[in-house]
Amino acid sequence: MVAGLPTSGKSTLARALAEKTGFHFIDIDAGPASCACSQEQNPFRSDEARARERARMTVAYTVLHAAVEANLRQGFSVIIAATYSRHTNQDFLQSAVERGGGTMKVIWCQYNDTPEEIGRRIKDRLTRGSVGGCKSLSDYLDDKARYMGIKFPHIVIMNNESELDKAVQQALSYIGTN
């Protein structure tokens, strides 16, 4: 699992790891989230909108965990990218991995999240047409305020885009495939 706050480079790192290892890559924003209803323009504008967003993401994580378990049961290794801001979702993933007969390795992507760097990454994300809920500095700060951290053993990789190769090598060493 490659986890972290929005714009931390989870998808970029996970995709690069999948290319190096040949493992199947699943990005919550690209596949599982499309199985849920569309995200509202401002999902945090009211308690009701927040509740709908939580329900939408529950569907996305449920689909993601089912895909992880199904792949593992068939003998396919997977690398996933998702925020995992709540411990309950982390627990559900661990259960899916156990039911699938797999082993979970957790990589927590972080970066020096200055307002300027957050803004630059969000602008880049929007320019590339990336999906996902973080579309502004306030969205990012809201996500960061409710982020619970990673409860399972993990490594932290400082994911600076200019050093992607270094991040990939750190991750490969950790998961034991280099």
pLDDT tens-digit readout, 169-178: 999 999 987 5
Selection from 21-30, 31-40, 44-53 with the highest mean pLDDT: 21-30
Query: Contact at 8 Å (CB) between 13 and 2?
Result: yes
Residue 14 scores a pLDDT above 60 = yes
pTM: 0.88
Residue 41 scores a pLDDT above 70 = no
Average pLDDT on 82-103 reads 95
- The answer as to CATH 3.30.70.580 being correct for domain 2-173 is no
- Residue 36 pLDDT grade (very low, low, confident, very high; cuts 50, 70, 90): low
Q: Which SS3 state, helix, strand or coil, does residue 77 take?
A: coil
The Cα–Cα gap between 57 and 36 comes to 7
- Residue 152 pLDDT grade (very low, low, confident, very high; cuts 50, 70, 90): very high
Query: Contact at 8 Å (CB) between 166 and 118?
Result: no
168: CB partners within 8 A, 6+ apart:
13, 16, 17, 20
